[in-house]
Structure 1
Amino acid sequence: MKWIFISLWVVLIAPAQAKAPVLSAKELAHPPAKVIRICCAFGSEVSVGRIPFVKKTDIMSLDDLGTHRYLGGPSEGNGIIYTQKGGFVDLGHLRDYADWTAYLYVMLTSEETKDVITLALGTEGGPKMLTLKKSSIPSHVDRYELAGRMAYDLSVWHEISTWFGASYIPMVPERFSSFSPEDLYSNLLGARLGILALQSELEYEEAITQLLASTLKSLVAVDEIEETFLAMEKVEDLWWTREKAIPNKRLLLKRYMQNGSELVPWLLPEDVQREVPCILDIPDERLRNYYDLTIKLNARFPVARIFPLKEGRVVSQNDFDELILFIEKESVRLDEKYAKKPNTKPKREVKKPTAG
C-alpha cells in the first residue's frame, strides 16, 4: 500500500483551505531546534551507561497519544509504538518533522520573509545553513512538497551526523541511535502528515492530532504498551541487543539506510506474511534544485576517504547519498569485525511492562 492512497483519502475528506501555524516575525527568524523532542532509544529495558538498575524503555500505547503542540508540550505523548503496516514508529521523530515541514512552509509562503532566505541552523557535524530564493521557484512547484523535502533532508542529515559523532548532549555520542530501524520512516511519516495538516482547514495542531490518530489506526497500531514491548522483544538479537548499554555503538545490530524514492517499513516476520506494508513516497528529488542545505564538516568526517576528489569540507544535500554509502560500508566492516568476537555473557530475563 503506497502512501499516495492514504494521502488522497485524507485530502478528499478535508476542506481545501490551508491553515498553517501563525508564526511571528521573531519565530520566523529563529528556526526550531535541531532536536525538538527528546529522541527515543530503540529497544526495551536497555541499560544506561554503567549506572546499575537504570533501564530505558521508550515505548507507549495509543491511549497516551494526547494532543499535538507545535514545537512540543506536556499535552503530547511521545515514544515508540508498533504498527502492523508501518513497523515501529517513533512519535517524537514524527512530530519533530511535521513541525519542521510546517515551519519551512510558512517561511516559503510568508510575506514577512525576504526573497532570499538564509537560515543558520546551528552546528550538527559542523555549521549548517539552509538557503533558497523564493522568486526562483517556478509557480508550478508544490510548496507543500518542497517544505516536506527540505524537512526530510534535515532529518537525513541528523542521522548522518550522529554516525560521525554529533550529539544533542555534550560528551554523549549518539552513534548508537544513528539510522535505527524506525528513524527514517518516522521522519518521513511526520513530513507527510505535516503536508496534509497544512492542507486542512483545521488549525495546524488540531489537524496533526486528528491525522496522527487516524494514520496510526490505518497502519494497524497495536493498542497496548505490552504489545509494543513484545514486538520489540521479537527483534532482540536481530535488530538490537540488550547486552550493550546506551551509548554503546553496538547496541543496534541493524540500521535502516534506505534512501531512494520511497521507504518500505520493517515489519515483524509474521506481519510480513499477512500484511501489506505502507510504503511512503519521498518528495521528488528534483525539489532539491530549489534550495541548498550546506554543512561545513568538522574534523570527525574523513573527507579524503569519502570524497577523494573533493576540495574543501563543505557538503550539501546532493552529497548525502555518498555519505550514506560510506556509512553502509563502515557498518558492514564493523559488523564483520565484531562477529569474530563471541559473546559469552548470559542473557538477562526481563519483565513485561504494564500500562499506566
Structure 2
Amino acid sequence: MPARKGPLLIPLSMLGARPYLVVDYLPFDGLALTLSQRKQIGRAVRFLAAQLRGNSAPVRVRLVGHTDSTGAIAHNLALGRKRAEAVRGAFLASILRQAPWLAPRITFDVLSRGEAEPIASNRTPGGRGRNRRVVVFLDIQGSSAADLPQVRALGPSGGPTRPPSARTCCILAPTTSPRTANNNLLEPSNLGVHRGASETTGLIYHPQYGFLDLGHIRDHCDLTYFLYAHIANSGGKTGTVKTVNSTATITKPVPPEMWVLVARSIAYDDGLGHEIHSYANRLVPGMHNSSFSPEDLPSNFIGTRVGENALRRGGDFSAAVTASLQNLLFGAAALKDTRQAFDNINGCWVSFTDPRSLLDADYLLRRNFTRVPWKAPRVRNAIPSSWMFEDLTPAAAFYDFIYNEGRRIPKSTFTAEFANIRQDAAKRYGASYDQWGPCSVGP
C-alpha cells in the first residue's frame, strides 16, 4: 500500500494539536521505511523549512509510534517506540540534507502507544497496515494563534449558553413509513439552512465517507459550537460544562490553540457515550438496533469538523455550517444512488424488508466501532480525506468526562465498555459483526 502524500497542510499555530505527518503501512513487526515513505518525509521537511525561513522559533517534534494488535502488549509498546525512532532518524537526516540551518532549533520527543490506539480494524490486512504507523506532531514555540476563532467571532452573545438538544436522527434504512418510499434519504442539493425551517435530516451516501447521517452531523456541529463558546468565554479556565446527557470537567487550563480541539473531543465523547448507552436498550427502536450503526461515528466526527470549519469562517454560525456542509458534500450521491448503495448492503449490514423491520432489536447485523468510513460494495467510492484521521487524543489531557444518560459511564471505562459490547455482538451477529465486508448481496 503506498504511503500518503502528506504533509497535512495546516496552520503553524495548530501543529501541536494536529498530526503534521502520518507514516503508515509499516512492515509487520518491522521498522524499515520504503523509498516512498522516505520521500514522504522529505516533502514534509521541505514544507516545514519553507514555512520557517525568517522565523527563529524553536521547534519541538513529537513522534508517536503505533502497532497493530498482533503480538504481546509489551512487545508492541517497544516496537512502537522503535518505529518512532526510525522515523525520527529519517526526519533528522532529511533536515541535515535539505535545511541544515533548521537542525539546531529542533528537539525530538519519541513516544509509543503500542496497540492501544487503533484507527482501523485489526481484523483486516488493510486495517492492520493503517494501524502500523508513526504520527508526527510539531510544536512551533511562540507561533501566532491569530488564525484561530476567538470569542469576538462568536457573535454579540458570545455564542450559545445552553447545550443543544439532539434532533430525531435516522436509522440506516431507506424509509421509516409504510406509505412513503425513500423518505429517509436525501438529495445533496436540497439540505436547507442549518437550524432553519428548511433544514433537512436523513441519510446520504458519499464516495469518500460512506453513509452519512445529517442529524448526527448537525447535532455535533452545534455541540462543538456550544462547547467551544464555553471554553473560549472562560478563557480556557478549569471548570465544569454540562451537555444534555454528559458532564465534562476541564482539569487544567486550555491554551487558545487547543480550544477547538478540546471542544471537538468532548463532543465526540458525548456521541460515544450515547452509542454505549443505547446498545443495552433492546426495547426501543433506534437504540440497540441502531447502536454503532456504520454511519454513526464517522458522522459524529465529521460533525465536529464541520463545526470547526464554521467557527473559522466566522459570522453567523448557521450560515457558516450551511456553507461548510455544501463544501463537504460536494460529489455526494443523488438520492437514487444512495438507495442503490443501501440495496447493496441490505442483508449484510442490516436486514430490511419494510418499516416493520425497524422494530426488530437485531435489525442491525454489523457495527462500526471506529470513525473509519465503511463503503458500500459495487458503487463509486473514493479514498477519504486525510482529516478523517486527525488525532483527538491530545485534547484528552485537559478534561475528564462522564456520560450520564441512563447510567454513569466515565470516559475512563469506554475501553472496557467497548470490549463487553464487542463480545456480546460477536455472539449475536457472528464473526463479521464489525466488518463492512464481504457483502455477497445486491445486483
Among 244, 251, 255, the residue aligned to 1:121: 244
Map 1:262-273 to 2 at 5 A.
263-270=371-378
The residue aligned with 2:337 is 227
The residue aligned with 1:62 is 188
1:151 aligns with 2:262: no
Structure 2 SS opposite 1:108:
helix
The residue aligned with 1:163 is 279
Structure 2 SS opposite 1:81:
strand
The residue aligned with 2:120 is none
The structure, 1 or 2, with the larger RCO (C-alpha pairs under 8 Å, 6+ apart) is 1
Structure 2 SS opposite 1:40:
coil
1:5 is displaced (CA, Å) by: 5.3
In structure 2, relative to structure 1, the CA distance for the partners of 1:215 and 1:187 (3 Å cut) is same
Distance 1:62 1:101 in 2: 23
1:246 is displaced (CA, Å) by: 1.8
Bigger shift: residues 236-245 or 106-115 = 106-115
In structure 2, relative to structure 1, the CA distance for the partners of 1:42 and 1:140 (3 Å cut) is same
Structure 2 SS opposite 1:117:
strand
1:249 is displaced (CA, Å) by: 1.8
Distance 2:341 2:6 in 1: 23
Distance 2:282 2:402 in 1: 16
Among 204, 222, 228, the residue aligned to 1:81: 204
1:316 aligns with 2:426: no
Instruction: Report Cα offsets for 1:29-70 as digits up to 9, x if no partner.
Output: x3222x2x1110102246x7xxx768774111012211112x
In structure 2, relative to structure 1, the CA distance for the partners of 1:216 and 1:21 (3 Å cut) is farther
The residue aligned with 2:358 is 246
Structure 1: tracts of 5 or more residues without a match: 123-127, 300-313, 340-356
The residue aligned with 1:287 is 395
1:213 aligns with 2:347: no
Give the partner amino acid of 1:31: P
The residue aligned with 2:21 is none
1:275 aligns with 2:401: no
1:94 is displaced (CA, Å) by: 0.4
Among 290, 308, 316, the residue aligned to 1:203: 316
Give the partner amino acid of 2:319: E
Give the partner amino acid of 2:305: R
The Cα RMSD (Å) is 3.5
Structure 2: tracts of 5 or more residues without a match: 15-145, 434-443
In structure 2, relative to structure 1, the CA distance for the partners of 1:240 and 1:3 (3 Å cut) is farther
The residue aligned with 1:31 is 163
Distance 1:7 1:324 in 2: 32
1:3 is displaced (CA, Å) by: 11
Distance 1:245 1:227 in 2: 22
1:132 aligns with 2:250: yes
Distance 2:6 2:350 in 1: 28
In structure 2, relative to structure 1, the CA distance for the partners of 1:22 and 1:320 (3 Å cut) is farther
Structure 2 SS opposite 1:130:
strand
Structure 2 SS opposite 1:292:
strand
Contact 2:310 2:321 in 1 (8 A): yes
Distance 1:137 1:166 in 2: 41
Distance 1:92 1:3 in 2: 32
Contact 2:342 2:376 in 1 (8 A): no
1:328 aligns with 2:422: yes
Query: What's the TM-score, normalizing by structure 1?
Result: 0.71
- When Rg is computed on C-alpha atoms for both structures, the one with the higher figure is 2
In structure 2, relative to structure 1, the CA distance for the partners of 1:326 and 1:212 (3 Å cut) is same
Structure 2 SS opposite 1:151:
helix
In structure 2, relative to structure 1, the CA distance for the partners of 1:211 and 1:110 (3 Å cut) is same
Contact 2:306 2:324 in 1 (8 A): yes
In structure 2, relative to structure 1, the CA distance for the partners of 1:22 and 1:225 (3 Å cut) is farther
Distance 2:235 2:382 in 1: 47
The residue aligned with 2:217 is 94
In the alignment of these two chains, the number of paired residues is: 292
Contact 2:247 2:401 in 1 (8 A): yes
The residue aligned with 1:40 is 170
Contact 1:132 1:290 in 2 (8 A): yes
1:229 is displaced (CA, Å) by: 0.9
Contact 1:121 1:130 in 2 (8 A): no
1:143 is displaced (CA, Å) by: 0.6
Instruction: Report Cα offsets for 1:105-147 as digits up to 9, x if no partner.
Output: 000011599852242634xxxxx422225xx224365111110
Q: What percent of counterpart residues are identical?
A: 25
Contact 1:2 1:281 in 2 (8 A): no
Query: What's the TM-score, normalizing by structure 2?
Result: 0.58
Structure 2 SS opposite 1:269:
coil
